[in-house]
Amino acid sequence: MIEAVIFDWGGTLSHWVPQERVPEFWRASAQAVDPDRVEELAAHLLTAEEAVWAQVRGAQKSGKLEDIVRAAAAAHEIEFAEDMFAAAPGSYFEAWELELHHKADALPMLAALKSMGLHTGLLSNTHWPRHFHEELLERDGLHEAVA
């Protein structure tokens, strides 16, 4: 008997954002860190993110956004002040938040599963922290449906 349905988050409950857009999100992050070096920093951040995704695909080991920012800084001898380091993820999330939306049928589908007595859950292999996923779910009225 089925008791629960677990959903992958990206591309299942949410619309897939084309990977070609990701450099824009890193540029937003770089802009917050050092407006004079946006393209350079964004390229370093994108390279570090690609290394994390290679690790996910190869070793099945996830990474965190902080790992990406620290790796980009370390690999390219970039020194961030603490406030600059904190600004990088914030701006990155703000850029994603503008582009990422859940599918229109997500809430009705989740509600239908709950009405059948099924538990629902969500998983993701993104490098984003849990709170960011929860904020997006809350924004779009889905948080309670996958809890």
pTM tops 0.75, yes or no: yes
- In the prediction, which pLDDT does 115 show? 94
Query: What angle, 0 to 180 degrees and rounded to 10, lies between the N-to-C axes of helices 65-75 and 82-99?
Result: 130
Residue 103 vs residue 34, higher pLDDT = 103
Residue 125 vs residue 102, higher pLDDT = 102
Structure confidence by residue, pLDDT tens digits, 69-88: 888 777 766 666 555 666 67
Q: Which amino acid, one-letter code, is at 70?
A: R
- In the prediction, which pLDDT does 92 show? 85
Mean pLDDT of the chain: 85
- In the prediction, which pLDDT does 81 show? 53
Q: How far apart are the first and last CA of the chain?
A: 21
Whose CA is closest to 10, among 119, 136, 110? 136
Alpha carbon distance 74, 132 (integer Å): 25
Structure confidence by residue, pLDDT tens digits, 43-73: 988 998 898 888 878 888 778 888 888 887 7
- In the prediction, which pLDDT does 27 show? 92
Flag whether pLDDT at 139 surpasses 70.
Answer: yes
